[in-house]
Amino acid sequence: MATKYQNLSEYNADLMPDKETVVNQRYAIAVADWNPQITHTMLHGAIETLEMIGVKSENIEVIHVPGTFELTYAAKTLINLNKFNSIIIIGCVIQGDTPHFDYVCQSVTSGATELNLIQNGCPVIFGVLTTNTLQQALDRAGGKHGNKGVEAATTAIKMANIVW
């Protein structure tokens, strides 16, 4: 969670798998194009982090969907390809004047949880901002609270490399 106590872009590189472990792994990112000033900044943070940790750029696939609601369908489609070590979903829903915010947030959260409960070995990482204001989203997409895309990428690598 992004708070004044934790910058999302900070992580301990010593706790990450070594480059030899991740160099040939494959990662997918489904990104919502709604609120692109937020989601595309998070996308760039995720890609840069995956590459910095050792994932080859050609092993990172990005698909764009219209909005956050569509992310779970995209993730399910990517899971069915059976070629990724982890999938990151990136979106941003900002509170408005209608209950639409609640429905979209609940739907994508439940959908991501359900996909993670499928016994397929491919974790789905929740990189979705659900904020009350645009400023809160900006603060978490490269602003004073870091970039949640970075957090999603480090989480994807850690979850893909859980040792049984």
Judge contact between 128 and 42, C-beta under 8 A.
no
Please say if the pLDDT value at position 2 is more than 70.
no
| Residue bearing the bigger pLDDT, 133 or 164 | 133
Tell me the β-bridge partners of 113. Answer: none
Q: What is the arithmetic mean of pLDDT over 46-68?
A: 97
- Neighbouring C-beta atoms of residue 101, cutoff 10 Å: 16
d(CA 83, CA 78): 8
pLDDT exceeds 50 at position 159: yes
Confidence at residue 1, expressed as pLDDT on a 0 to 100 scale = 47
H-run or E-run covering 150: helix 148-160
| Cα angle, residue 119 at apex, residues 149 and 26 outer, rounded to 5° | 40
Percent helix, strand and coil across the chain, each to the nearest 5? 50, 20, 30
Q: What is the pLDDT of residues 77-107, one digit of tens each?
A: 999 999 999 999 999 999 988 888 889 999 9
Domains annotated for the chain, with CATH where assigned, are 26-160 (3.40.50.960)
Mode of pairing for the β-strands spanning 86-94 and 27-32 = parallel
Average pLDDT of the chain? 93
The answer on pLDDT for 8 being more than 80 is no
Q: Which residues pair with 31 in a beta bridge?
A: 64, 90
Residue 19 phi, psi dihedral angles, 5° rounding: -60, -35
Closest CA to 137 of 30, 9, 42: 42
- What is the distance between the alpha carbons of residues 75 and 120, in angstroms, rounded to a whole number? 13
* Catalytic annotation, residues: 100
Q: What is the pTM for the complete model shown?
A: 0.93
Q: pLDDT tens across 104-136, in order?
A: 999 999 999 999 998 778 999 999 999 999 999
Contact 126, 109 (CB under 8 A): yes
